Amino acid sequence: MMSEFEIEALKLSLQVALAAVGFSLPIAVFTAWLLARKEFAGKSLVDGFVHLPLILPPVVVGYVLLVGLGRNGIVGGFLHDVFGITIAFTWKGAAVAAAVMAFPLMVRAIRLSLESVDQGLEQAARTLGASPLRVFATVTLPLASPGILTGAILGFARSLGEFGATITFVSNIPGETRTLPIALYTLTQIPGGEAGAFRLVVISVLVAFAALLASELLARRLKAKLGG
């Protein structure tokens, strides 16, 4: 039904998107909590920095990643020399690019849901003997879970569609960094590639719908668990 080329691109896209969300979700939750609940010097600076990928051209983000995480970059060189990890021009790099681009969307959604959790409930839990960490795990997090789910889905969708930063940072390597959008772009550059491109469009739409449906079902179950 699907060609090897298509299966490869689809599998890679799902792998990259899942890794990107799995890796950045805890950080996004922590950042959102920091922005929602804490007052500290330089808060607006942090807020602005988190939102940078949303307003910068993706190519700029990709280039910055390349400079920083490439083998000659400060972080990339360190990772390669000490741990033997290469990020640039690998699928891991694609995941990093997707995570960075999706990060502000995730933080925004999660922050909203954290802000809507009644702090009175958190206070009540404290008076009942729960440490701040336990309060977060047993009260804040469960009550914010619908928003965290929304953030994760938004991040997943954004990661699936990531193109500009990815192609700048990790290029277009078949089987390694050629995700669905990049494969689609490749086909549009080849004479006679229109039919193949159209098939990829259909696959992209189906994947997006499946993700949406899954999130809807999850949200319903969460809602029931939260006691309506």
Partner 1 sequence: MNANGHIVDIDIRLNRGDFHLGARFATEGGLSVLFGKSGAGKSTIINCVAGLVRPDSGHIRIAGETLFDSAGGINLAPEKRRVGYVFQDARLFPHMRVGANLEYGMKLIAVSERRHTMSDVVDLLGIGKLLDRYPADLSGGEVQRVAIGRALLASPKILLMDEPLAALDFDRKAEIMPFIERLRDEAGVPIIYVSHAVEEVVRLADTMVVLADGDTVAFGDVEDIMSRLDLRPHTGRFEAGAVIHVWVAGHDDDYMLTELGFGAGSVWVPRLELDRGTPLRLRLRARDVSLSLEPPRGSMTLNTFEGTIVDIENVAEGISPHVDVLVNCGAPVIARVTRRSMNDHDLKPGMKVYASVKTSSIDRHSLGLGRRR
* Residues at the contact surface with partner 1, assessed by CB under 8 A: 118, 120-121, 123-131, 134, 138-139, 142-143, 225-228
140 with 122: CB under 8 angstroms?
Answer: yes
Measured from the CB atom, the residue of 135 and 183 that comes closer to partner 1 is 135
Shortest distance (Å) from residue 121 CB to partner 1: 5
28 with 106: CB under 8 angstroms?
Answer: yes
Measured from the CB atom, the residue of 84 and 227 that comes closer to partner 1 is 227
State the burial class of residue 72 (Cβ atoms within 10 Å of its Cβ: 0-12, 13-18, 19+).
Answer: exposed
Count other Cβ atoms within 10 Å, centred on residue 16: 27
Measured from the CB atom, the residue of 45 and 224 that comes closer to partner 1 is 224
Shortest distance (Å) from residue 130 CB to partner 1: 6
Alpha-carbon distance of 93 to 177, in angstroms, equals 8
Measured from the CB atom, the residue of 42 and 228 that comes closer to partner 1 is 228
Shortest distance (Å) from residue 117 CB to partner 1: 10
Shortest distance (Å) from residue 132 CB to partner 1: 8
Count other Cβ atoms within 10 Å, centred on residue 160: 23
Measured from the CB atom, the residue of 26 and 120 that comes closer to partner 1 is 120
Shortest distance (Å) from residue 137 CB to partner 1: 12
107 with 145: CB under 8 angstroms?
Answer: no
Provide the phi-psi class of 40: left if phi over 0, else alpha when psi is between -120 and 50, else beta: beta
